[in-house]
Amino acid sequence: MVGGGGRENALAWALARSSGVERVWVTPGNGGTADLAGCSQLSIAETDGDGLLAVCRAEAIDLVVVGPEAPLAAGLADRLRAAGVPVFGPGADGARLEASKHWAKELMREAGVATAGYWPASSAAEALAVLEAQGRPLVVKADGLAAGKGVTVAETVEEARSAIEAIFAGQGGTAADAALVLEERTHGPEVSVFALCDGERLVLLPPAQDHKRIGEGDTGPNTGGMGAYAPAPLLDSAGLEEVRRQVLEPTLAAMRARGIDYRGVIYAGLMLTPNGPSVIEFNCRFGDPECETLMPLLGPELAQVLLACANGRLDTAPPLTIQPGCSACVIVAAAGYPGPVRSGDLITCPLLPGENLQPFHAGTRRDGDGSCRSSGGRVLAMVAQAGDFDTAFERAYAALQEVHFAGMSYRRDIGHQVRSR
């Protein structure tokens, strides 16, 4: 398991519980890796292809799962596959689905997938000219990787202008602030759908809903995600099949037509408009915190399914069972998030992952004496399951009373769309 955030913590936990798995190695991991039964931690960087390949050979690793988007875009999966290691995660060509908003928009147009109207721009002058011609607020998206951020849903023309200028001033959070995409604003509830792909076939996971804003009542600046829940009732089984037919299968087919063998997860961020599902963006990895929310709902076949995807043989995998019930996730953030954050605060979290409660670590590290300290903006994800959303969220929020560190903060209204109390 490559990565060190909450998403990778949840994936490692789920994979270690999968049928037939003897050991899960996590690198670089975080302060909670040692708390996961069946997991061992390494200290190899996510981008160190040679180091990862050496471990795969030394430990006879059967499957590598790459969590973050940056090493995928840099070609880590290509490097390992070329050496004969099965990898769940697309090559650099497929990772452009997330690494370039413009490329993804062009692919959607080829595939006939519904998405908002857009205008690419490679300079501030070009983007500002589009904004002036449109004369209305637009969505401003940095073209490259931006760690789930780099997007401004402008309420005014002036806000859009400021976002454009910030991106071309190198403040967009991307690896290369050289381009952006302007989009029409669309309206409707948002939902996340994930497809596990083997290059030709796919398996859908239950839909989830994220909470991007830092403040209660969905106010304040966007974040990487302050909480989530699943399965989101916004999409029933018929709606999920519509997303399969109209969005995911055409996208996978369009990539095949371009010669891209996409083996990994496609994350479709959707807006449910009055005219049907419209793609806000695609990502080439699991969402965070949706991943933490979903993993406890997935059955023990998960590792076999991911391995079959990595080998291009999803048709040979056992059906992935989905556990009944509801899953709730609340993110605990450090002081200052989503801006500059304080780190190094001592964390007290005596809870261990169990059947109905999982405190997944994200921005944490261990000191030499074993104490756990904060090391990032989103520090912990408290996840709980129950037969209904009210009970699941009550369980998660009650567990947060056991967590303590200076400056910790979290929203108390996560899941307000599905809670009755």
Which CATH number do you get for residue 245? 3.30.470.20
Same domain, yes or no: 215 and 306? yes
Q: Which CATH number do you get for residue 169? A: 3.30.1490
In a domain, 185, yes or no: no
In a domain, 108, yes or no: no
| pLDDT (0 to 100) of residue 114 | 97
Same domain, yes or no: 310 and 198? yes
Cis check: omega of the bond before 338, within 30 degrees of 0: yes
Q: Quick one: which of 248, 241, 239 has its CA closest to 276? A: 239
In a domain, 82, yes or no: yes
Same domain, yes or no: 221 and 156? no
> What average pLDDT does range 282-291 have in this prediction?
97
Does the structure show a pLDDT above 70 at 243? Answer: yes
Query: Do residues 64 and 85 make contact, with C-beta atoms less than 8 angstroms apart?
Result: yes
Same domain, yes or no: 312 and 339? no
Same domain, yes or no: 340 and 369? yes
Same domain, yes or no: 153 and 232? no
Same domain, yes or no: 214 and 295? yes
Structural domain of residue 72, as residue ranges?
2-90
How far apart (Å, rounded) are the C-alpha atoms in residues 421 and 388? 12
Number of structural domains (the chain) is 4
Task: Write down which residue in 138, 153, 178 finishes a domain.
Answer: 178
How far apart (Å, rounded) are the C-alpha atoms in residues 376 and 405? 13
| pLDDT (0 to 100) of residue 150 | 78
Prediction pTM value = 0.94
Q: Are strands 209-210 and 364-366 parallel, antiparallel or unpaired?
A: unpaired
Task: Write down which residue in 316, 350, 385 finishes a domain.
Answer: 316
* Rg of the chain taking only CA atoms, in angstroms: 20
In a domain, 117, yes or no: no
Same domain, yes or no: 142 and 172? yes
pLDDT tens digits along 90-126: 999 999 999 999 999 999 999 999 999 999 999 999 9
Same domain, yes or no: 307 and 244? yes
Same domain, yes or no: 294 and 340? no
In a domain, 111, yes or no: no
In a domain, 85, yes or no: yes
In a domain, 109, yes or no: no
Identify the band that residue 169 occupies on the pLDDT scale cut at 50, 70 and 90: confident
Same domain, yes or no: 199 and 312? yes
Task: Write down which residue in 67, 90, 113 finishes a domain.
Answer: 90
Same domain, yes or no: 311 and 220? yes
How far apart (Å, rounded) are the C-alpha atoms in residues 124 and 375? 35
Helix/strand/coil (H/E/C) assignment for every residue in the chain:
CEECCHHHHHHHHHHHCCCCCCCEEEEECCCCHHHCCCEEECCCCCCCHHHHHHHHHHCCCCCEEECCHHHHHCCHHHHHHHCCCCEECCCHHHHHHHHCHHHHHHHHHHHCCCECCEEEECCHHHHHHHHHHHCCCCEEEECCCCCCCCEEECCCHHHHHHHHHHHHHHHCCCCCCCCEEEECCCCCCEEEEEEEEECCCEEECCCEEECCEEECCCEEEECCCCEEEECCCCCCHHHHHHHHHHHHHHHHHHHHHCCCCCEEEEEEEEEEECCEEEEEEEECCCCCCHHHHHHHHECCCHHHHHHHHHCCCHHHCCCCCECCCEEEEEEEECCCCCCCCCCCCECECCCCCCCCEEEEECCEEECCCCCEEECCCEEEEEEEEECCHHHHHHHHHHHHCCCECCCCECCCCCCCCCCCC
Cis check: omega of the bond before 300, within 30 degrees of 0: no
Does the structure show a pLDDT above 50 at 176? Answer: no
| pLDDT (0 to 100) of residue 147 | 61
Query: Do residues 76 and 2 make contact, with C-beta atoms less than 8 angstroms apart?
Result: yes
Q: Quick one: which of 250, 317, 291 has its CA closest to 114? A: 250
In a domain, 68, yes or no: yes
pLDDT tens digits along 371-392: 999 999 999 999 999 999 999 9
pLDDT tens digits along 313-342: 999 999 999 999 999 999 999 999 999 999
pLDDT tens digits along 34-69: 999 999 999 999 999 999 999 999 999 999 999 999
Query: Do residues 287 and 194 make contact, with C-beta atoms less than 8 angstroms apart?
Result: yes
